[in-house]
Amino acid sequence: MAKATKKQALGRGLSALLNESTTEDTSKKSVGNIIELSIDQIEVNPFQPRSYFNEEALTELANSIKELGVIQPITVRKINENSFQLVSGERRFRASKLIGNKTVPAYIRTANDQEMLEMALVENIQRKNLDPIEVALSYQRLVDEIKLTQEELSTRVGKKRSTVTNYLRLLKLDPIIQTGMRDGFISMGHGRALINIDAIDDQLFVYEKILKDKLSVRQTEELVKEIKAPSKTKKTASGVTPSFVKNGIPTISEFFGHKISVSVNAKGKGKISIPFHSEEDFNRIKKLLE
């Protein structure tokens, strides 16, 4: 009989340790306590940065809760005497609802809207299964909405400032490439290599080549170097590039969508080289010249 009682308590997780009286007055549910809350009294966090929850992983968590109960309580803030708002633990909350639980153990605390957003973002960042773009977007929201400097941000999330900077730079990539990183087609290492390419067309060319040829990060870095090399303007025999050439390169490069290379000899004569990366790219440039 004792063994059966022990097993039942284990299966109910934290709930077995809490006062679960259904007749308890909600007004007694004070800040700083961990108590069983009715799931119907809890609303989701409007500041939750995570919009996608893996259904398979959620089902696995639900099965675990069904067997062992909720081991770690969710955190909520009190809105009024009868309603609460999630601060953290939405997966546990969703999983508990999935298996039909009517209550969930919750720690009650106070938090204003800004604190809610910050806690939700920081908790999201600390997850291990986030893609690099999701982390970068959370960092950017902390910078924009909480007004943190990169130095403050690095302290708040426990990361080196250089790490934070590398994530934020990923947001400069073309949206197509960002999506590819979110879907796992390329790694953060690939993304960091692609950031060094200024022209979007060149970024997309390398991205497509990574997918087609299954390039490693090292191979991608080498390809990026090759693409950037022609963009270095060659100097004249006297070692000086005429100012009219320097001033004209950005305009011509922007027109063709590629960084052009220019060579000028000592007599002031020279040539312009326009790079292309595929038949489609060549035809695009050709059309510009028609």
Single out the residue in 229, 253, 273 at which a domain terminates.
229
90 is catalytic: yes
CA 290, distance to chain mean position in Å, is 43
- 170 and 258 within one domain: no
Q: Output the pLDDT for position 190.
A: 96
Q: Output the pLDDT for position 1.
A: 47
CA 278, distance to chain mean position in Å, is 31
Single out the residue in 78, 95, 111 at which a domain terminates.
111
- 169 and 219 within one domain: yes
Q: Which of 36, 90, 118, 134 is catalytic?
A: 90
Q: How many CB atoms lie within 10 A of CB 73?
A: 22
CATH code of residue 71:
3.90.1530.10
Q: Output the pLDDT for position 233.
A: 44
Rounded Cα gap, residues 181 and 202, in angstroms: 17
* Helices 2-11 and 55-68: angle between axes, nearest 10 degrees: 150
Q: Output the pLDDT for position 24.
A: 45
As to burial, measured by CB atoms within 10 angstroms (0-12 exposed, 13-18 middle, 19+ buried), residue 135 is buried
CATH code of residue 156:
1.10.10.2830
Rounded Cα gap, residues 271 and 273, in angstroms: 7
Q: Output the pLDDT for position 47.
A: 63
DSSP string, 232-270: SPPPPTTS---HHHHHHHHHHHHHHTS--EEEE-TTS-E
Q: Output the pLDDT for position 52.
A: 61
CA distances from 10 to 17, 68, 181, 235 (A): 10, 6, 41, 77
As to burial, measured by CB atoms within 10 angstroms (0-12 exposed, 13-18 middle, 19+ buried), residue 247 is exposed
- 132 and 76 within one domain: no
- 83 and 126 within one domain: no
Q: What six digits make up the tokens of 33?
A: 């306590």
Q: How many CB atoms lie within 10 A of CB 109?
A: 16
Mention every residue, 6+ apart, whose C-beta is less than 8 A from residue 279.
Answer: none
Q: Output the pLDDT for position 221.
A: 93
pTM over 0.75: no
- 104 and 190 within one domain: no
Give residue for tokens 């109910």.
12
Rounded Cα gap, residues 259 and 275, in angstroms: 8
pLDDT by 10s per residue, the chain, length 290: 444 444 444 444 555 444 444 434 444 456 678 889 899 999 887 766 565 677 888 888 889 998 888 888 988 888 877 888 888 888 899 899 999 999 999 988 876 667 777 776 776 676 656 789 988 988 888 888 788 888 888 888 888 999 999 999 999 999 999 999 988 999 999 999 999 998 888 899 999 999 999 999 999 999 998 888 754 444 444 456 777 888 888 888 888 888 888 887 766 778 888 888 778 888 888 888 87
- 191 and 148 within one domain: yes
- 138 and 107 within one domain: no
- 254 and 178 within one domain: no
- Taking the alpha carbons at both ends of the chain, their separation in whole angstroms is 90
- 21 and 102 within one domain: yes
Expressed as residue numbers, the domain containing 224 is: 119-229
- 57 and 7 within one domain: yes
Single out the residue in 62, 94, 111 at which a domain terminates.
111
Q: Output the pLDDT for position 7.
A: 45
Q: What six digits make up the tokens of 71?
A: 């081991």
- 217 and 163 within one domain: yes
Taking a C-beta distance cutoff of 8 angstroms, is the pair 32, 105 a contact? no
User: Number of folded domains in the chain?
Assistant: 3
- 85 and 16 within one domain: yes
